[in-house]
Amino acid sequence: MSKKLNIGLFGFGVVGQGLYDIIKTKNLNLEIKKIAIKDPHKERSLPSHLFTTERDELLNHPEINTIVELINDTEAAFEIVSRALSSGKNVVSASKKMIALHLDELIALQHKYGTSLLYEGAVCGSIPIIRNLEEYYDNELLHSISGIFNGSSNYILSKGFLENLDYDSALKQAQDLGFAETDPTSDVGGYDAKYKLVIAAAHAYGVIVQPDDVFNLGIQNLSAYDLQYAREKNLKIKLVPVAKELDDRHVALFVLPKFVNDKEFLYNVEYEYNGVIVQAAFADQQFFFGKGAGGHPTGSAVLSDIAALRYDYQYEYKKAKERKDLNFTNNIELNIYLRYEDEKLVELLNFSHIHERYYSGTYKYVIGKINLQSLIDNQQVIAENKAFVAFADQLAGVNLAAEVKQTAEVL
């Protein structure tokens, strides 16, 4: 028998409204008691008595036993979630940045107070990847997790490839449709994908990494030359986060644009859709596909978590308990494509091997092998040079499993 959930909902934007639309079609033994909002003057589709601007009305409400947090203020979200967990209320959240930044503390709070925090909606919208990593793959050795985790950047790339739209025009369309923010840095710069990757890696490998330690380079320097090059090679460019176990002791995480060919799952993931590839030792390669954003897709993931709380479901963080010897490292080698202007940048990056170079009056690129730490050390110079960097295993005639490897002993 499921228990009755009395919900306090923080945020009634696209996802909050989408969640409500779904809930009203179901009979799930739950009730939304109160909704906290920022703007009391905005016209709402529900009776005014349901809304408040005071968070304490929800957090201190004696009947509310479940908090659903769907706001876009990272630190306010952390305060709400931590207070709720500490006061015996279970929580569902879709705030990927907040969870990635504070995951250690949030796990500790759950253990201390015996409460549950679920966040399927924080990673890849409607795709149930967290629950699968936590449950289905709990005893599986995972070689890697990669994919398209951000619908906004994928929409822009799809517009460029499929409709020959330049980057600025594609970005404006994404903003007009609500896929990208007025400041699109989090999406196009790979930060949003990085937060999701950090969360997924915690369940896949049991390694909790601070987002600032994970390298991310986005698509903001993409040019028509890069798109033309990809078309000539029958490739597409996708923004791809990667988590990979290198050996028994080390796991690497990074976010980079990547050239993909028509044999790869990600080749046909377009517009606002997401795709997650899990490479497992025994289950082999498996692919999850679905909408990565939007009120109803993300709302469905949030509702799945709410429904699970009716039966007192908790993440067990099994891999974290089992794997105490696995450490994060940036000491790996990658094959990259670098389109650049200043020759000094190639020297600074210190390629260990160059497969191909091209020069023309307006377009120069190099394809070769480089240590990830060199990209990290020169990230500012890459930005100033307006250079474009992409993971280029296909161009070097190798695959991810062969080329993403540890190059030196890491303490």
* Helices (runs of H) and strands (runs of E) counted in the chain: 16, 18
Query: Residue 298 corresponds to which amino acid?
Result: T
Task: Quickly tell me which residue has 């349901």 as its tokens.
Answer: 50
Work out the burial of residue 133: count CB atoms within 10 Å of its CB; fewer than 13 is exposed, 13-18 middle, 19 or more buried: buried
**Closest by Cα among 243, 282, 259 to 404:** 243
Catalytic residue chosen out of the listed positions 196, 236, 238, 244: 196
Distances (CA, A) of 182 to 173, 179, 191, 339: 11, 10, 15, 27
State the Cα–Cα distance between residues 217 and 336, nearest whole angstrom: 12
**Neighbour count for residue 266 (Cβ, 10 Å):** 22
**Known catalytic residue at 344:** no
Distances (CA, A) of 92 to 70, 81, 89: 9, 9, 10
Task: Quickly tell me which residue has 């699970």 as its tokens.
Answer: 308
Nearby residues of 89 by Cβ (< 8 Å), 6 or more positions away: 8, 59, 64, 65, 66, 67, 115
Nearby residues of 329 by Cβ (< 8 Å), 6 or more positions away: 246, 250, 251, 252, 406, 410
Positions annotated as catalytic residues are 196
